[in-house]
Structure 1
Amino acid sequence: MRAWWYALRLQQAEKEAEIADLNYAQAEEFARRMEMEEGRAVMRFWWLDCQLRALDPARPPPPPLNRTRRKQSVRQAVLSGRQGKLGPASEKPPAPSKPKTIITKDAARAQALAVPLDELVSIEVQKERDAARRKVLEAQAERQRTMDVGRAAMRKWWIQEREATKRALGLPPYGPVWTVVRKDGKEGPISIGKMPLIVGSDVSRMEKVVPVQLDYPTVSRVHAKIFGKEVFSYGEYVREYFVVDLKSTNGVRLNRTFRLRPGDEYRLSDGDTLFLGEEAATLVIKNPQKSP
């Protein structure tokens, strides 16, 4: 669209330049005709002087033919409309005004350009193509940057998940996971791995969890949940362990003193005890690296 407008303006400027050239040619023709008329008048007046001298021998001879001086006086006589008299005009007539040539900015720009119109249009079209190509390349670069950021985030997440799995399974270079020890001694230490531990009197048939069956009157069917998760602490991810009371009847007491609020998570430490209503239904949290 811009190239079309520019071509239209150049065409208009060329028309104005043609009009200006025509005005200049007319002015040239007018000046040439004036010079011819002046020459004829000078020759006519000089011939009249010669005829008068032939009739009157006492008449002084005519001055020599001086085209420059005579041309000035004849110019004044012609412009004032008195071709019959040779003497100079009493008042100096105004000088003929030169025809004004109106040249617009577009015409001046078109005259200053030494490049053909077709080439200018092709240059403008090439500029528009280059701008469109730059936009496409910028969009591709932006898309590539977005993909690189997404890949970096995915790689970081994958490393975190891999390291979290290692921590959850107790693999090197991380130490073994924490364990839950029953106070009644009916079962060995239970590791707190990737799947949570569900403590209750009727949890043996639950899936995707590690059931801890406690057949005691004070223990609800689904009493509590013990699990571990990744926590960002001091610039790195570490595995922490928590306990949640699942709205049990008799509740869960941490270290026999503090009763947990149902539904809230409480962080566990090495050596903490979970009292579930009676002495036999007690669980001890142990860190194998600190307490064997």
Structure 2
Amino acid sequence: MADERERILKLLEDGRITADQAARLIEALGRQAVEPPVTPVNARVIRRRRLHGVERIPDIVAEAVASAIEKELRPGARRQEFAGVGRVVIKSVSGDVEVGDSGEDKVVVESSEAAARVQEEGGEVMVKAVSGDLKVLVPSGCRLELASVTGDVLVADLSGHVMLRAVSGDVTLLRVGGRIEVNTASGDVVIESAGGAAGAVRTVSGDVELGLEPGADVLVHARSGEFGSVGLALKMPHEVLEKSEAQVKVKLGAGSRLLEVSTRSGSIEIGEAEER
């Protein structure tokens, strides 16, 4: 059973399973041990043996995580560049993440303040950060997938496919075109110069501020939950297709792109883009 436990811990160190999954696997291994039949005499001994194994699981997992961080995720002066990349995946546990346009056909990862691991394989760059801030520059048209647990996220001057998931922290998108998919649990969402974007922005608990620029060609459908509201303040030419306290459908230009915005318990404000 010791060999199986070592394999589980190696999978954890390699990032192929989570700490919770490792704990469950180790616990399952403990249950496989052959135990004598339960009788009134030995029931207390068996129960104590089981508890002893379960109590050790957090220590085993904690040691493995600490070892992985010490070996591979140590902060340091790091700037890495990769060419010919079509997809960038960023996973951050704690810390702010900033993503921008590299202006050329390469990905630049700056993680000097972060405990992070960066890998490249088959035209894909994977960035995993446990703590600290990250700055990543990607080429225009690159597919970006970003997941953040806690910390603010800024994505600016990109055109392509942006998929963003955040649990806690504010999210800001500036001058982002193409396809966007944003899902957040809590924290405010600000999207400026969104007239070139299509897709969906969804938040559970947080306000959404949507700024549209002159010449935008988009159909915005904004909806809020029972305790939220949707406001519209546009001076530029536009056509209101539907408007109520909890829902607004407004078209700018030909409305060839559809951008859906929704929140369960926050407010949505649709206005004109500010210079940032």
Per the TM superposition, whether the score is higher than 0.5 is no
TM-score bucket (shorter structure): under 0.3
TM-score (norm: length of structure 2): 0.21
Q: Work out which of the two has the higher radius of gyration on C-alpha atoms and give 1 or 2.
A: 1
Q: As a proportion of its length, which structure holds more helix?
A: 1
